[in-house]
Structures are given as C-alpha cells and as structure tokens.
Amino acid sequence: MVSKELLDILRCPACVREKDGKLQLYKESWLICTDCQRKYPISDDIPVMLISEGDKWQNTKEDKLPVPPPPVK
C-alpha cells in the first residue's frame, strides 16, 4: 500500500509545471491525475510515474482499468 504521506507529495509529472497535477488513488492500484486524466499504475506498492506509462492509459475509463495493473515493460 502506498503511504498517505507519499500520496500527499506525488504529482503528475506531465502537469506539475503548469497545473496542480494532483493524483487520486483508485482501487489501491492506480493514481489518476485530476487535470489530464493520465493513469499511473502502482506495481508492488511502487507508483510508476513515467509519463509514457500514464499516456498508455489516459483514454481508458476508470472502470475499464485492469486491477491489478499489468506488469510494466
């Protein structure tokens, strides 16, 4: 599980310079940017905060996200 302290400081790397980039935890498996809707998987309790990874899932609706996320390649 990702700690609340970490969630409080993490921001979307694609948005943080221009917007707030706040992230919402979804089903303990994803972090979703409230600004751009990029979705970052959480793998082994570690958020994968690569913009390229968030881009892959940006247009996927929340209820269609796989839980748990697939392994990052």
pLDDT tens by residue, 62-71: 999 999 999 8
Helix, strand or coil for residue 62? Answer: helix
Q: 52: domain CATH number?
A: 2.20.25
| pLDDT of 72 | 85
Number of domains in the chain: 1
What is the domain extent for residue 28? 4-64
Backbone angles phi, psi at 65, to 5 degrees: -70, 135
Tell me how many degrees the CA angle 41-11-57 measures, rounded to the nearest 5: 35
Within-domain flag for 60: yes
Percent of the chain at pLDDT > 70 equals 100
Within-domain flag for 58: yes
Amino acid occupying residue 48: V
Within-domain flag for 36: yes
Within-domain flag for 9: yes
Within-domain flag for 52: yes
Indicate whether 73 pLDDT > 80: no
Indicate whether 3 pLDDT > 90: no
State the pTM of this model.
0.92
Within-domain flag for 72: no
Contact call for residues 21 and 33 (beta carbons, < 8 A): yes
